[in-house]
Amino acid sequence: MKSSELDMKLNQLEARENLLQRERLSFNTEYSILNFTSLLSFVDIKDDILARMGEETTSREESLCELRRTLHQREEKASEDERVLKKKERDLEEAEKKIDISFAKLKEREVDVNNRLFGLGYKREGGSPRAP
C-alpha cells in the first residue's frame, strides 16, 4: 500500500471517529436531558402528592377540631343536665320532707281534734266518755 492510500484511510478513520464522538456526545446530552426531565417530572409529582397530602391533613385536622368541639358541647350539655337533675332530686327530697312534716302535723291535729271532741263528748254526757 502506498502512503497516499494509508493517509486516505487514516483520514477516513479520523472522520469516522469524529462522527462517532459527536454522536456519543449527542447521545450523552440527550440522555442527560431525559434524566433531568424525568427527575423534574418526579419532583413535580412528589410536590403534587405532598400538596394533596397537606390539604388532606388540613381537612382532617379541621374535621377533628369540629368533632372535638361537638364532643365538648355534648359533655357540657350532659354536665348541665346532670346538675339540673341533681337540683330537681334535691328539690323533690325537700318537698317530700315538707310533705312528711305536714302529714305529721296533720296527724297531730287530728289526734288533738279527736281528743277535744272526745273531751266535749265526755262533758256533755255527764262524765261518760263516748268513743269517736
User: 112 lies in a domain?
Assistant: no
User: 57 lies in a domain?
Assistant: yes
Residue type, 111: V
User: What pLDDT is stored for residue 44 in this prediction?
Assistant: 84
**How far apart are the C-alpha atoms of 100 and 97, rounded to whole Å?**
5
pLDDT digits (tens, 9 = 90+) for 45-73: 888 889 999 999 999 999 999 999 999 99
- Average pLDDT estimate for 95-124: 91
User: 129 lies in a domain?
Assistant: no
Is 128:122 a contact under the CB 8 Å cutoff? yes
- Average pLDDT estimate for 7-18: 91
> Does residue 74 register a pLDDT over 70?
yes
User: What pLDDT is stored for residue 1 in this prediction?
Assistant: 62
Q: How far is CA 54 from the centre of its chain?
A: 19
Is 90:101 a contact under the CB 8 Å cutoff? no
User: 62 lies in a domain?
Assistant: yes
Range from 14-28, 38-52, 77-91 carrying the lowest mean pLDDT: 38-52
Tell me the residue range of the domain where 31 lies. Answer: 1-93
**Domain tally, the chain:** 1
Q: Which three cell numbers stand for residue 87?
A: 337540683
Residue 130 belongs to what H/E stretch?
none
DSSP class per residue in 27-77 = HHHHHHHHHHHHHHHHHHHHHHHHHHHHHHHHHHHHHHHHHHHHHHHHHHH
